[in-house]
């Protein structure tokens, strides 16, 4: 981005200016002290000769010595000045290179964050626009129909309601994301991991029954400090995905066990799996693998796993996925125990 290029340039100039002010001030002090020191050293022989008793033959040499001393002093001071100028030029070149490097390093994370943010805004606007455009064109076409009957009007309203439902679930997902990203305060309470998993399962049970999917669980009773609502949401997202991307009559395994100081939750399905090239991106906001796009899930925006990651980060945990295309996926969540 051009704004960051100019900011890097300004920051570089600022850093170089600081370094050069220090370097020039330091050089001026060195010049002052050294010039005085050289003068004192060169004065010593003539001072000694002047102290000799009058009539000493060396007195006649004083005039010549003073001349030579003056020339030597000027030469030494010039030499010192030239060296200090070269030294400062070298500092200028080195500090420019180093300053540009550090300015880029300082601004890089901010630039990346801005890029992510603007990509997010563009994606969110696109997703919001799609149902709105569909609704608008449907209404326009229907209004042009002069013989519009009540059944057509009902059909239109039903279709509009569906689009409103999509908008509602998208705005809910966006609010959910914002909730964790801006939440500084953590009102955690003592919770039982198996209880949360059970509550979440009850919310998706209907979907599992519809696809005749069996849940196999191995729970160890572990306690942790957390936010009940968001942790339930985390399980719902992972269970919902596992069901969504699994074939009918398959099995989903849910394991809760202890791993050092963490509670480890594993959700293993035997579904479509995730392609190797999609795997690094699935936690990105609005990322949907091709398989998911083709399914054209009504409320699938590629935000579920981004929300899951925000919830896990909020609890200082970690989330990862392993998968082989066509063989199923395993999602592993690690949360610090009380």
Nearest to 238 by CA among 160, 153, 325, 306: 306
Task: Tell me: does residue 243 bind ligand ADP (CB under 6 A).
Answer: no
Binding-residue total with ligand ADP (CB under 6 A): 22
Taking CB under 6 A as the criterion, the residue among 194, 302, 312, 314 binding ligand ADP is 302
Token code pair at residue 188: 């955690």
Residue nearest to ligand ADP (CB): 304
Taking CB under 6 A as the criterion, the residue among 291, 318, 325, 332 binding ligand ADP is 291
Taking CB under 6 A as the criterion, the residue among 107, 201, 256, 288 binding ligand ADP is 288
Residue 320 beta carbon to ligand ADP: minimum distance, rounded to whole angstroms: 12
Taking CB under 6 A as the criterion, the residue among 11, 91, 234, 303 binding ligand ADP is 303
The two beta strands, 251-259 and 223-226, are: unpaired
Task: Tell me: does residue 329 bind ligand ADP (CB under 6 A).
Answer: yes
Task: Tell me whether residue 263 or residue 302 sits nearer to ligand ADP (CB atom).
Answer: 302
* Residue keyed to tokens 């060296």: 83
Residue 176 beta carbon to ligand ADP: minimum distance, rounded to whole angstroms: 12
Distance CA 200, CA 242 (A): 13
Task: Tell me: does residue 274 bind ligand ADP (CB under 6 A).
Answer: yes
Token code pair at residue 128: 């919001």
Task: Tell me: does residue 241 bind ligand ADP (CB under 6 A).
Answer: yes
Task: Tell me: does residue 200 bind ligand ADP (CB under 6 A).
Answer: no
Residue 275 beta carbon to ligand ADP: minimum distance, rounded to whole angstroms: 9
Distance CA 303, CA 178 (A): 12
Taking CB under 6 A as the criterion, the residue among 124, 170, 222, 242 binding ligand ADP is 242
Token code pair at residue 177: 């994301």
Interior CA angle at 291 toward 288 and 292, to 5°?
45
Distance CA 233, CA 157 (A): 31
Q: CB burial class (10 A; 0-12, 13-18, 19+) of residue 259?
A: exposed
CA contacts within 13 A on the Cβ side of 42? 19
Task: Tell me whether residue 96 or residue 169 sits nearer to ligand ADP (CB atom).
Answer: 169
Applying CB under 6 A, the residues found at the interface with ligand ADP are 241-242, 245, 269, 271-274, 282, 287-289, 291-292, 300-306, 329
């Amino acid at each position: 981005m051009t704004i960051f290029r100019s900011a890097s340039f300004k920051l570089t100039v600022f850093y170089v200016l600081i370094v050069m002010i220090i370097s020039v001030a330091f050089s001026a002090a060195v010049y002052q002290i050294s010039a005085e020191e050289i003068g004192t050293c060169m004065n010593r022989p003539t001072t000694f000769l002047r102290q000799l008793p009058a009539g000493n033959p060396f007195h006649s040499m004083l005039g010549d010595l003073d001349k030579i001393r003056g020339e030597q002093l000027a030469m030494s001071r010039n030499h010192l000045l030239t060296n200090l100028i070269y030294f400062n030029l070298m500092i200028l070149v080195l500090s420019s290179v180093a300053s540009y490097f550090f300015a880029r390093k300082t601004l890089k994370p901010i630039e990346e964050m801005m890029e992510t943010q603007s990509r997010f805004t563009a994606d969110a606007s696109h997703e919001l626009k799609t149902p709105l455009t569909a609704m608008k064109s449907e209404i326009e076409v229907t209004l042009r129909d002069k013989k519009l009957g009540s059944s057509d009007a009902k059909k239109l309203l039903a279709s509009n309601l569906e689009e409103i439902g999509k908008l509602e679930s998208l705005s809910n997902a966006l609010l959910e994301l914002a909730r964790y990203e801006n939440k500084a305060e953590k009102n955690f309470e003592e919770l039982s991991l198996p209880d949360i998993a059970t509550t979440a399962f009850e919310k998706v049970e209907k979907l599992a029954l519809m696809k005749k999917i069996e849940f196999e669980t191995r729970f160890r009773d572990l306690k942790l400090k957390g936010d009940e609502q968001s942790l339930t949401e985390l399980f719902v997202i992972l269970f919902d995905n596992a069901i969504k991307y699994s074939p009918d009559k398959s099995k989903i395994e849910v394991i809760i066990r202890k791993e050092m100081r963490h509670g480890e939750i594993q959700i293993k399905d035997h579904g479509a799996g995730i392609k190797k090239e999609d795997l690094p991106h699935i936690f990105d906001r609005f990322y949907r693998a091709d398989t998911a796009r083709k399914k054209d899930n009504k409320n699938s925006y590629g935000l579920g796993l981004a929300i899951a990651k925000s919830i896990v980060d909020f609890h200082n945990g970690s989330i990862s996925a392993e998968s082989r295309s066509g063989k199923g996926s395993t999602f592993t969540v690690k949360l610090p125990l009380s």
